[in-house]
């Protein structure tokens, strides 16, 4: 397995994807603009390793190997790989800019996979050199734990690219599902109402976030919507609602929540900032 994987963006998702790839034996470059966030990713990878060691899922040697396989970098020129997975900010122009720059320094065979939750892969690939090698590869949070991966075929994505990404996901122990390039793909489109309706109930004061979470968890959901939004990141969750709202011609059922907008304005982004609907220590 001599393939090199580069992951651009070392936040909530990028750090989990990098970990997953290193655990499967790939050499990984984890790139971010922000040195502090790269350091934070390093700490989160260390605590994932500690967790696996404690549970006897890996031994010391394997832990060392996984750690040694991840190279942290804030130099874009280090992102030379067979597969590049971008997990940066949910903004189409920034994602396109990144892929264009990466196309200049990689060969034409390198696959460019976007972890976008909601943006159009057909639009992302437009104008990128060899756009047939651009596709969606949508992991779920936490990326090193969740099995599902949506593999998204843009208008000009080749079948070869899709086949390679399906195989790659399987080597990570994931369950890939091929999806049409439609707004929010499958899971995020359905799940939107889980978040939006819960936010609506909280906005009208009919129940508090904690009450709603408790009720849904006792009804069998693994995590209530507010705990989940805190885990996802409020900015990302809001960006996905905004993107679906626009994509569905401002259909009221996808209207972003004012309560969530105010949380983002206040910088209360959830676990990653220590405060969202709940407060966190680290
Ligand atoms: N959070 C989730 O639950 C989740 C789940 C699935 C997919 N996604 C998608 O994954 C992507 C990343 O989400 P996240 O939650 O990890 O975000 P995040 O805010 O935790 O991390 C984003 C990282 O990207 C870096 N970054 C921003 N612009 C960059 C650039 N131009 N070049 C390099 N690095 C850059 C930031 O410094 C930050 O570290 C988004 O497209 C999001 O829709 C998120």
The structural domains of the chain, with segments of one domain joined by +, span: 4-180, 187-273
282 band by pLDDT with thresholds 50, 70 and 90? low
**N-to-C CA span, the chain:** 36
- Mean pLDDT over 152-157 rounds to 98
| Ligand 1 pocket, Cβ-based, cut-off 6 angstroms | 8-14, 32-34, 37, 87-90, 94, 98, 115-117, 138-141, 232-233, 236, 272
- Exposed, middle or buried: residue 271 (CB in 10 Å: 0-12, 13-18, 19+)? middle
Give the CATH number of domain 4-180: 3.40.50.720
Topology of the domain covering 187-273: 1.10.1040
pLDDT at 281: 87
- How do beta strands 148-153 and 134-139 pair? antiparallel
Residue among 175, 152, 141 at smallest CA distance from 13: 141
pLDDT at 195: 98
Residue among 117, 67, 81, 66 at smallest CA distance from 8: 81
pLDDT in tens, 188-229: 999 999 999 999 999 999 999 999 999 999 999 999 999 999
- Mean pLDDT over 121-137 rounds to 98
Q: Is the pLDDT of residue 101 over 60?
A: yes
Find the 88 Cα to ligand 1 centroid distance in Å. 3
What residues contact residue 219 under an 8 Å CB cut-off, 6+ apart?
A: none
Q: Global pTM?
A: 0.96
Cβ-contact 115, 165 below 8 angstroms:
no
At 280, give phi and psi (nearest 5°): -125, 150
Cβ-contact 112, 132 below 8 angstroms:
no
């Amino acid at each position: 397995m001599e393939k090199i994987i580069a992951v651009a963006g070392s936040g909530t998702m990028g750090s989990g994807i990098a970990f997953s790839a290193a655990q499967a034996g790939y050499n990984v470059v984890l790139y971010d603009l922000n040195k502090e966030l790269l350091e934070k990713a390093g700490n989160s990878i260390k605590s994932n390793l500690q967790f696996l060691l404690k549970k006897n899922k890996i031994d010391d040697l394997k832990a060392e190997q996984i750690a040694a396989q991840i190279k942290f970098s804030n130099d874009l020129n280090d992102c030379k790989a067979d597969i590049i997975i971008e997990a940066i900010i949910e903004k189409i122009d920034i994602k396109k800019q990144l892929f264009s720059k990466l196309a200049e320094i990689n060969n034409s065979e390198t696959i460019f996979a976007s972890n976008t939750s909601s943006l159009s892969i057909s639009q992302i690939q437009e104008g990128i050199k060899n756009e047939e090698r651009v596709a969606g590869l949508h992991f779920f949070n936490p990326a090193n734990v969740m099995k599902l991966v949506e593999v998204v075929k843009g208008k000009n994505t080749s079948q070869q690219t899709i086949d390679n990404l399906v195989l790659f996901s399987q080597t990570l122990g994931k369950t890939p599902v091929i999806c049409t390039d439609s707004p929010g793909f499958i899971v995020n489109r359905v799940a939107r109402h889980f978040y939006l309706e819960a936010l609506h109930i909280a906005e009208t004061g009919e129940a508090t976030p904690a009450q709603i979470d408790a009720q849904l968890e006792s009804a069998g959901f693994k995590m209530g919507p507010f705990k989940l939004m805190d885990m996802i990141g409020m900015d990302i969750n809001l960006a996905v609602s905004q993107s679906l709202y626009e994509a569905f011609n401002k259909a009221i059922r996808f209207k972003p929540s004012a309560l969530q907008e105010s949380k983002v304005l206040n910088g209360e982004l959830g676990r990653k900032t220590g405060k969202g609907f709940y407060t966190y220590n680290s």
